[in-house]
Chains A and B, each alone.
Chain A
Amino acid sequence: MKSELVFSFPTNRLLNLDVPLEIRDENMGLVAQTLASQSVKVTPGTYIVTASLPAGQRVVRIVEAKKKREEVTLAVLERQESPHEWREIGHYFASPRAQRAEHMVQAAVDVRGLESLETRPSVTATLRVFGGNFLAGKKKPLAVGFRREHFDRDVAHLRCKPAKELRYVQMLQAGRPAVNIALPISKLGCTIAVHREPDRYWIEVYPENPQANLILGYTRNHKLQPQVTVAEGMLRDKFEDPIAAAVGAYALLRAGELDRLHHWTENLARYFVWLPDGAAIRGEHLARMGKHAEALQSFLDVFKRGLPVFSEGIRFTHDRLRSYCGRDASPKVKTALQSLQRFIPYLDFEKAVTTFTGSNPTAPDDAVVKRLPAKDKLDLAKLFT
């Protein structure tokens, strides 16, 4: 008689997420690799179930499989739990920088207590929103329109509504360069986490699609997790969520899983003309297939759409165009490459979501902000009151 292991996470944010799991026997031999949403049948015995979350939290459960069905709760180590349920999105999916910030704040509280923790920054900061094709020199100011959902002493979460167009949030604070971050939104919105420290604010964005958020979290933390079937499904379901489809496609390209891209990258590029990443992904897919002439055309389409939402799309476009420029020095290719090269020195390639500096998003630079805008802005200090 086999025992069916059924998995679940105890927290809302992780519930139903397809976190990759490994099931090993008591000699640490691999018995099965699965996803948290799928059960596994094993012969009775002792098993070790492990998982690793994007920000490094670990799950290690020893399971005695005796009954026909064993419920396995995948709790992270106690010391790695999120302080609040609403902060899980940052805690389990955050970049190394966000994790360091959280540890520093907690360490300060542990040592000095909550009351003594002064996190009120000495600078003011605001948010603005822009749309448009920055590569073509076009920007369109948009209404900020975020809704605050949660906040505590050092983090506030804003909800950004869905939109079927390119949008960037810009944070300005005096004495620092303005930072522009792509918003990964389409049919679903995203969460903007605003972090405040004693001398600055900074932000991180998380797509609303939980699977996309999971894969992006692994990418942020330089981890490769075996989720190719999930990524393939996200690309297949592009009409449900093209941003998630792009995240899935990038994951498949990273894993060299060209067969799992099928012809779906062509449809992602064709049916979502507002999304530059579709053209970049299609271009890279074609290049990997050795179809370089078609790849070049697809990469040139990126410039008709705008700056890709994800920095991987920019890297693919830049690297391939440089390579093609060496072979085909046509003015069109050179001009396209030059328009992208204006952004390269100011991009932060460590960030999975496109992030670059410059008060004018069509003319990136690293000049510090001297004065904050008077209108069309969101004052960040108000988020924490």
Chain B
Amino acid sequence: MAGAPLEAKRQMTKIFERNLQGKPGLHAFIAGVSTYEHLPGGGPEKATLGDLKLAQLDGTARTAHAIYEWLKKADDDGRLPLPLASVRLLLSPSAGEANLNGIADACTWDKFTKDLNAWRKDARHAKSITFFYFAGHGLARWKGDSVLLMEDFAKPEVPGGVYGRAVDTKHIVEGMAPPVNAAFTIARNQLYFVDACRTSVSTLNKYKTKEAPEPWFNPIEASGVDDRSCPILYGSVPGDTAKLLPGNKTLFSEALLDCLDRLAATGPDKDHKQWHVTTRTLVDAMESAIAAVNKKYVHLGADQSYMPDGQNKTFTIVNLTAPPEVDVEVTVDPEVAVPVVGIDIRDKQLQPVRFIQPGQLAYPYHDRLKAGLYKFSATLLQAHDAYQPYESLECVALPDFPWTAKVTV
């Protein structure tokens, strides 16, 4: 890996930096806000915008930190397509996230905008990749809008009006467009993850057309040729909320990380010797991942949504070190035959992989296999006039694989 990481004099916000000597790298900007100073339950200086009914959060700072940890690990494992060049991390932890105190600067508007501008400056190599993740409260002034609320949102008497301490997602994305002046370039591969709600708050309806202040220090000129790939993945559809497991992390992040580690993987090709995740496979796989997360937490009323946006010219986000594991469900038809049927799973060289005896697992049988070709066989453990063995060659592929042993004569 080119360049050694800078140690020690850790700047609070630029939590990681590697000197790549002018070569392209991955520049990350991650922010997680759980504590809101001026919302109910926050500090003594309350917002003067009426009853906002926005609660303090417990989990969004943890989520942001988890995303940072994932990036670091992926970099350590050599899975990223480019070396991790820098990570800026802003965290406003809740009382329940006290273990995150002191790791990074708080995500105030001033800190956020300062780092945003520095991040853009760092990401000036055209072949670099940028990675943006925000977890916290979000609002929509109209359907389709997305405004990110910083820790000091609704601070009384600040310049910029009601959204003076908020950032318009569109401003961020627009500001990262290639500038007109060809002397200044910017990373052409950009990722945006907006893990925040897109609902409106009735108290703020009268401010529907108010603008949030530009987060960029220098006025943004109209862009040059915008040939970026800049997919935006929203953790909520317009008008919906993003969901958080109290004391845990957001459902969107759980789905996203499963995709990046497994569910969105695609096999080797002429440019990749390994399984890998691209921006296209990620967008396509997120629906399945979100559905799986909702199913997992259905008892908690989980109803997470997701929506992609932006322009998406495919590029690689992360490589895998092995073929991904696929959820497999095995059933027997007819079900009454289950007690007399064993399931034999072998790889394409017919080497044994698994044998499921009746009663060994809860029925229907669930397991995980690495993606690939397998021979599935249903064998009769005792002779039966009504049943016969059944087998087939199958491709176990993402997102999941169901197989039914049809043993009726």
Contact = CB atoms under 8 A, between A and B. Distances in A.
Nearest to B179: A290
Interface string A21-51: 0001011111000000000000000101010
Sorted from nearest, which 8 A-B pairs have the closest CB atoms? A256-B313, A28-B267, A30-B269, A256-B311, A292-B222, A290-B224, A344-B142, A349-B144
A115 B287 CA distance: 34
A62 B237 contact: no
A95 B209 CA distance: 31
Interface in A59-80: 60, 62, 77, 79
Given A258-B227, A350-B237, A46 B373 contact: yes
A350 B267 contact: no
A288 interface: yes
B306 A222 contact: yes
A376 interface: no
Interface string B294-314: 000000000000111001111
A95 to B, nearest CB: 12
A222 B226 contact: no
Contacts of A288: 225-227, 311
B283 A345 contact: no
Interface of A: 24, 26-30, 46, 48, 50, 52, 56, 58, 60, 62, 77, 79, 96, 221-226, 253-258, 287-290, 292, 315, 318-319, 322-323, 326-327, 341, 344-350
A222 B280 contact: no
B284 A223 contact: yes
Nearest to B395: A48
Contacts of B306: 222
16 contacts: A24-B267, A26-B372, A27-B268, A28-B323, A28-B371, A29-B268, A48-B395, A50-B395, A222-B306, A223-B287, A224-B308, A256-B227, A256-B228, A258-B227, A288-B226, A348-B143
Interface in B350-409: 371-373, 393-395, 397, 402
B209 A222 contact: no
Interface string B195-231: 0000000000000110100000000001111111100
Contacts of A349: 143-144, 237-238
Nearest to A33: B269
B144 A344 contact: yes
B408 to A, nearest CB: 15
B69 interface: no
B142 A28 contact: no
B174 A345 contact: no
Most chain A CB atoms below 10 A, which of B267, B323, B393:
B267
A146 B78 CA distance: 59
B227 A26 contact: no
A62 B143 contact: no
B375 to A, nearest CB: 11
B307 A222 contact: yes
Interface in B131-185: 142-144, 170, 174, 180
Contact of B223 (A290, A315, A348): A290
B348 interface: yes
Contacts of B269: 29-30
B58 to A, nearest CB: 29
Interface of B: 142-144, 170, 174, 180, 208-209, 211, 222-229, 237-238, 266-270, 275, 280, 283-284, 286-288, 306-308, 311-314, 323, 348, 371-373, 393-395, 397, 402
Contacts of B323: 28
A282 to B, nearest CB: 15
Given A257-B313, A258-B227, A347 B180 contact: no
Nearest to B286: A222
Given A30-B270, A347-B143, A350-B237, A323 B227 contact: no
A94 B377 CA distance: 35
B372 A255 contact: no
Nearest to A223: B284
Contact of A62 (B226, B286, B393): B393
A24 B398 CA distance: 14
B325 to A, nearest CB: 13
Contacts of A258: 225, 227
A384 B287 CA distance: 33
A287 B225 CA distance: 8
Contact of A341 (B142, B222, B268, B314): B142
B226 A287 contact: yes
B399 to A, nearest CB: 9
B287 A222 contact: yes
Contacts of A346: 143
Nearest to B198: A349
Contact of A323 (B174, B286, B287, B312): B174
Contacts of B224: 290
A221 B144 contact: no
A28 B273 CA distance: 11
Nearest to B226: A288
B395 A60 contact: yes
Given A58-B397, A60-B397, A223-B284, 7 more contacts: A26-B372, A27-B372, A48-B395, A223-B283, A341-B209, A349-B143, A350-B237
Contact of A289 (B225, B283, B393): B225
A79 B331 CA distance: 13
A196 to B, nearest CB: 24
Nearest to B310: A254
B395 A226 contact: no
A233 B321 CA distance: 38
Contact of B312 (A58, A221, A255): A255
Most chain B CB atoms below 10 A, which of A24, A50, A221, A258:
A24
A254 B267 contact: no
A58 B268 CA distance: 20
Nearest to A328: B222
Most chain A CB atoms below 10 A, which of B223, B229, B348:
B223
Contacts of A254: 311-312
A277 to B, nearest CB: 17
A290 B222 contact: yes
A292 B180 CA distance: 11
B311 A253 contact: yes
Contact of A255 (B208, B313, B393): B313
A297 to B, nearest CB: 14
Given A290-B226, A347-B143, A350-B238, A224 B267 contact: no
A15 B80 CA distance: 40
A62 B395 contact: yes
A255 B284 contact: no
A327 B395 CA distance: 55
Contacts of B287: 56, 96, 221-223
